[in-house]
Amino acid sequence: MRIDLEGEVAIIFGAARGIGRAIAEGFSEAGAIVAYVDRSPTVSFIAGQYRRLSGRPTAAYVADVTDPELMRQVADDTLRDLGRVDHLVYAAAVGSGKFGMPFWNLEPEDWGPVLRVNLLGAVNVAHAFGPRMAEAGRGTLTMIASVSGQIGSQTDPPYSASKAALINFAQCAAKDLAPSGVRVNTINPGMVDTPLNRSVYEAWSATQPKEARQSWEQWSLEKIRKLVPLNRWQEPEDIAAMAVFLASPLARNVTGQTINVDGGYVMHW
């Protein structure tokens, strides 16, 4: 059964690379008009490049999710430029850039930047768009969290804690918006080969004596063998497929859910 979102508008936060970019392209392939949002100025080039290659309409906004006033402006601009917003996906995220095992390898001040993007950024976006979608009586919000938000991964405690909080916030938002017909769900990726995951490896490698260091390929494949029952990477496109499904009428009775796209990772915990 093909998912058809023709004529609907999707806005993707964190769309300049990795999972966010794959989600933006997935919505476009399903027929949606897609607005790319990212703090990186390259997002305008990426959206334009995709528009030229695919022939699909796109828009782009350079904006920092940590600025609540700017998020309200993005909501105003999107409605002005595209006329409506049917689907929102929050895929913006950062890590601390440090190896957090034990947690006191980090300093308390390492937590703030992570929480501001991964949790409070989502709150800013939800405050800007949620009431407008409720007033319209339709729409979906999907938050991209992480399996680390369920298992308390020690690799980067600020990241894990922020994703656990994001899952909880999405459930609160789902309850608030359900009477208006707006659905809110969370997707938890597992082992995905993204710049963020590579930064985790680099932080780990920097703490190791020279004789114990592994290449990125050795480190990641060993981790997959130990933790992922399907014994393979999850691809950004796998997360995109779930995001598009959750936005579609096929998921019309799905809200307040946390769905793992992780190759079975969480079954180990």
Output 99 or 130, whichever has higher pLDDT: 130
Phi, psi of 61 (to 5 degrees): -135, 125
Q: What average pLDDT does the structure give for the chain?
A: 93
Q: What is the DSSP string of 58-95?
A: EEEEE--TT-HHHHHHHHHHHHHHHS---EEEE-----
**Burial (0-12, 13-18, 19+ Cβ within 10 Å), 72:** middle
Percent of the chain having pLDDT more than 70?
A: 99
Residues forming a β-bridge with 258: 186
Render pLDDT for 72-118 as a digit per residue (tens, 0 to 9).
999 999 999 999 999 999 999 999 888 767 888 889 999 999 999 99
Given a cut of 90, whether residue 255 has pLDDT beyond it is yes
Confidence tier at 209 by pLDDT (50, 70, 90)? confident
Render pLDDT for 136-195 as a digit per residue (tens, 0 to 9).
999 999 999 999 999 888 889 999 999 999 999 999 999 999 999 999 999 999 989 877
Q: Name the residues annotated as catalytic.
A: 159
Which secondary structure element, helix H or strand E, spans residue 51, and what is its range? helix 42-54
Render pLDDT for 28-54 as a digit per residue (tens, 0 to 9).
999 999 999 999 999 999 999 999 988
What does the pLDDT read at residue 150? 92
Question: CB neighbours of 188 closer than 8 A, spacing ≥ 6?
Answer: 145, 146, 147, 149, 150, 163, 167, 258, 259, 260, 261, 262, 266
What does the pLDDT read at residue 237? 97
Given a cut of 70, whether residue 268 has pLDDT beyond it is no
What does the pLDDT read at residue 193? 81
Given a cut of 80, whether residue 200 has pLDDT beyond it is no
Q: Which domains does the chain have, with CATH numbers?
A: 9-191+234-268 (3.40.50.720)
Report the predicted TM-score, pTM, of the whole model to 2 decimal places.
0.92
